[in-house]
Structure 1
């Protein structure tokens, strides 16, 4: 079995969380208090990680598909597994559409979106065929570049002198309720709840005892960096303007101009957006590949990779009419009707079933031991 290290897991988790989050200011519904919403949601994200890793801890050698089948049986488990496989494919399609449209609108306005999507999916197919080990190793190489560019952008923004901390006040003007609702369920499920897909990967980590610790550290690092960048973004653009900006990060980058020497840094923004989006698509898509390969016991998954990648390309181009429609889906449909059930409620129910089954098995073993002792 292919294994990845805890360091590679950390890199994959961090790139995955940044993913399409770099396109938005999380929690902007809370206006100038968005950074507080992120902190609150990070606590919830850590709790979700505890639930997910507890499932993995109970079944350290199994992935999510095998865990579901063991807990629910073949007849109930198989339809649920297929739903999760389709969820991962659907999310891959949504993210591919987002990044194809953003790159097309911002940097390649004369290039057909379909051409951008095709080039992206060819690269993703190649990386998926190379397998999990290559995905993990490449993340180790690209995460430092991603963080250098990402953090460097906001440092340059501060040096540029456009930060106005007055935009962050008043704090909690309307109380805690709007801030809380901006974090739950939206930020909780995007991106933290999406880490459910790592239940397809955690059994491949070579040090199972480090899975929970590594995942929690990744969540904490992401929460700190995202809340800090949220403070800077709000301070520069203001909460009212941010609510109407399509891609705030691009706007921030275009404002950087230090002594007419450091300016026109669009290439840096493109690199950040591309790396984050690429890895989020890869992790979701390869997770879908693992779901169907495990379910149907496919040993050579190259055909599965090809079929699912082409499906993602078709859904992304044909079934999602526009970037604005994509945003509407993410704001109004996903949080309540898809993410809460599949990412929050189901894992908790599965964990409860696992506890009950383990307790029942323990009671049966104790009963048999007592019976054998009396007979002896």
Structure 2
């Protein structure tokens, strides 16, 4: 670990930017149709339970990275294997988000630019940022968080002023009952984007006030969930369920619909800026976790040395992960849950149970002695 500290407010900002990241880009929970917003909020509430598990593990080992305490809990061999699996997942997730960025840029602005060039440009900036350390990432987050929210508020006001919102698109609520919504929650919104923040367990040891970790995580996820629910409410009320489902980037379509006083229109650039900021921080946090996790696992004294080789691996993985955008989206919807369920909902409670039993045995041994 580098000798660095971040504040609770910086952690809060990084978590919000991370969770909004690519989730605002896609038609999140659209399989719940006009109740997509409800599926997002239920996924957010469900993730709170898992956050308490992640936080409890952190309280047992506040000064250790997960790559270290997994070895303490499961033993050297099993712990190392599991830690390596999580590092591979963070690398895979970073490459998927980078691919989302490239596809968005090519679809909406630069159709003749090769995907590799678009991804490589962002990856170079991320590598440079990672080499500066977690404090620089956190300070950049503070600066761009205000800018991103200014864009979001301005966009919301312009959509309302354009008279685009039609609330009849949101009716009827719970048309097919609660079961289809719960299905979407347990196959998508619980994991993407909320419990993806398991990556922040790699950053919690840097927190300068560990007591604020739990409140910060829950508040950041609460704000992100509300923002994503509002985004889907606006997308569906402007575009309708069918168009939102068919649209590759529904928020872009919504922003393109803005027209105020016959002169204020074509505001795609604001959408692009907000998305680039969100995706930059999401990939940066995942990549930082990969770098420090790998350095910790293989006892490399200078983690920054790993940024270039691992960055190149993520870049090439983002290109080769799917042959086209349809395959990329299909993989995200159909394959991802089989990875997310064990890594987010099964393994952490299992680790917590073993840590609890070991801690109780140790405490009992100290009492008897």
Question: Cα deviation per residue 1:67-125 (whole Å; 9 max; x = unaligned)?
Answer: 11111111110111111111111111111111111101110112111111111111111
What CA distance in whole angstroms lies between the structure 2 residues aligned with 1:343 and 1:312? 22
What CA distance in whole angstroms lies between the structure 2 residues aligned with 1:348 and 1:155? 43
| 1:158, distance to aligned residue in structure 2 (A) | 1.5
Corresponding residue for residue 292 of structure 2: 290
Corresponding residue for residue 276 of structure 1: 278
Corresponding residue for residue 345 of structure 2: 344
8 Å CA contact 2:48–2:218 kept in 1: the answer is yes
- In the alignment, structure 2 segments of 5+ residues that lack a partner are none
| 1:319, distance to aligned residue in structure 2 (A) | 3.4
Corresponding residue for residue 362 of structure 1: 363
Q: Which of 46, 49, 52 pairs up with 1:50?
A: 52
What CA distance in whole angstroms lies between the structure 2 residues aligned with 1:233 and 1:101? 20
8 Å CA contact 1:97–1:320 kept in 2: the answer is no
Corresponding residue for residue 269 of structure 2: 267
Please report the TM-score for the alignment, with normalisation by the length of structure 2. Answer: 0.97
What CA distance in whole angstroms lies between the structure 2 residues aligned with 1:278 and 1:322? 22
Question: Cα deviation per residue 1:277-330 (whole Å; 9 max; x = unaligned)?
Answer: 111111111111111011112121222111110001111113321221111111
2:6 counterpart SS class: coil
| 1:163, distance to aligned residue in structure 2 (A) | 0.5
Larger Rg: 1
8 Å CA contact 2:24–2:231 kept in 1: the answer is no
8 Å CA contact 1:154–1:229 kept in 2: the answer is no
Corresponding position: 1:146 with 2:131: no
| 1:38, distance to aligned residue in structure 2 (A) | 1.0
Question: Cα deviation per residue 1:192-228 (whole Å; 9 max; x = unaligned)?
Answer: 1110000100010100000110111001111111112
What CA distance in whole angstroms lies between the structure 1 residues aligned with 2:21 and 2:322? 19
Corresponding residue for residue 302 of structure 1: 304
8 Å CA contact 1:99–1:277 kept in 2: the answer is yes
1:298 counterpart SS class: coil
Question: Cα deviation per residue 1:11-50 (whole Å; 9 max; x = unaligned)?
Answer: 1000000011011132111100111111111101211211
Corresponding position: 1:221 with 2:219: no
Supply the RMSD in Å over aligned alpha carbons. 1.0
- Stretches (4+) displaced over 2 A: none
What CA distance in whole angstroms lies between the structure 1 residues aligned with 2:19 and 2:324? 24
What CA distance in whole angstroms lies between the structure 2 residues aligned with 1:318 and 1:216? 35
Corresponding position: 1:3 with 2:5: yes
Corresponding position: 1:123 with 2:116: no
What CA distance in whole angstroms lies between the structure 2 residues aligned with 1:224 and 1:266? 23
Question: Cα deviation per residue 1:347-372 (whole Å; 9 max; x = unaligned)?
Answer: 1111111111111112222222xxxx
Corresponding position: 1:253 with 2:235: no
- In the alignment, structure 1 segments of 5+ residues that lack a partner are 369-376
Corresponding residue for residue 243 of structure 1: 245
| 1:63, distance to aligned residue in structure 2 (A) | 1.3
8 Å CA contact 2:236–2:244 kept in 1: the answer is yes
